[in-house]
């Protein structure tokens, strides 16, 4: 190469590598921004008041009727933890969809259960594992607007897991719980009225049926 052209060559090469580095950094930041909502590091807030009227009204987590292909019978609840949605199958490839909060990494699960009982303004007894992680939590808290269990609860089989409301509606769409599924209080009240005891509940990690 002509020595007189070396400065030009290195100048172009340096600019090229700088551009590539900037693109890589931008992509990394974009990926981080997309990943950030996946797990929200927010602890429970017993005593924080959230009324029963709170609903998610905007965005993808608002309650809405959607296209949903499924072989499950109408009335079945299908939960997709990776999508952060709960569906009530309606038939004719339709379902009523609710935005939910799900278990954080290490606390997600899948399986087939039934709604074993229902409760209005349920009491809260944090399990020992949760108290070990958050020792400031009360050992028992009566139901009410300041209870992290929210306005209603659907108990899932003989497990410790529930579908319940929350006094932290901003956590809907995030992975935050210890395995339960949470809805805004207005949405859990709506769901509660539609779902009888004995309803089949299918919990899946992905969207495929």
Catalytic residues: 164, 180
Three-state DSSP at 33 gives helix
Distance CA 137, CA 190 (A): 29
CA distance 122 to 156: 14
In the block, which residue shows the tokens 């807030």? Answer: 45
Q: Which two tokens stand for residue 28?
A: 């990394």
Closest CA to 141 of 126, 154, 163, 156: 126
């Amino acid at each position: 190469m002509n020595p007189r052209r070396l400065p030009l060559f290195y100048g172009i090469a340096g600019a090229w590598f700088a551009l590539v580095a900037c693109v890589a950094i931008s992509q990394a930041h974009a990926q981080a921004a997309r990943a950030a909502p996946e797990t929200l590091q927010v602890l429970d807030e017993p005593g924080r008041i959230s009324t029963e009227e709170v609903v998610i009204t905007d965005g993808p987590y608002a309650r809405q009727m959607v296209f949903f292909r499924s072989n499950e019978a109408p009335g079945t609840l299908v939960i997709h933890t990776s999508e952060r949605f709960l569906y009530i199958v309606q038939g004719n490839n339709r379902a009523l969809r609710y935005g939910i909060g799900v278990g954080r990494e290490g606390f997600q699960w899948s399986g087939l259960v039934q709604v074993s009982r229902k409760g209005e303004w349920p009491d809260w007894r944090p399990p020992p594992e949760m108290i070990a992680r958050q020792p400031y939590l009360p050992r028992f808290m009566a139901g009410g607007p300041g209870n992290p269990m929210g306005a209603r609860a659907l108990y899932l089989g003989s497990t410790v897991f529930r579908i319940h409301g929350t006094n932290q509606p901003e956590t809907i769409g995030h992975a935050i719980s210890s395995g339960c599924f949470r809805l805004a209080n207005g949405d859990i009240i709506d769901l509660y009225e539609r779902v009888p005891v004995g309803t089949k509940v299918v919990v899946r990690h992905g969207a495929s049926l």
